[in-house]
Amino acid sequence: MSAEWESLTESQRAFMVNAFEIDILPGVWGDLAEEDKELPAAELAPVLIDLVDRGWVEVRRVAPWTAPDGTPGFQPGEAVPREVLPQVLADPDEWEYPEGAMDWIGALTLTETPEGWRVNRISPEEGAE
């Protein structure tokens, strides 16, 4: 892993893993550091926003998608604009799973950027080659 990855806290890594998995935001709860699992969402939002500001993670809304065979599904939609991200993440409902087990359309999802991908996977030695 990269030096940037090694410098992250356990909870920062949890957000990065969720972005790699393209998971919805509530999925991060299971990966957070134990001491952070009881924090209100408002205290976790700055951790995520820091990763967004570093250019490693994007916060998006899940959008509908149709497979070539016509099967309905979903995919990451447009990124939530940075200027509204603090207000969006201040809503505790955004940090909870949707009512329907797979009714994720409109839920927040995390995606990694190309730079985030680099942080997750390439050590400084590999990058120098």
* Contact between 19 and 57 (Cβ < 8 Å): yes
Low pLDDT (below 70) residues in the chain: 1, 101-102, 122-129
DSSP symbol at 80: P
Domain assignment of residue 61, given as a range:
3-128
Identify the pLDDT of residue 91.
96
* Number of CB atoms found within 10 A of residue 25's CB: 23
Identify the pLDDT of residue 128.
53
Amino acid at 44: L
Please state the domain count of the chain.
1
Which residue in the block uniquely carries the two structure tokens 């080659």? 129
Give this prediction's pTM: 0.87
* Contact between 110 and 57 (Cβ < 8 Å): yes
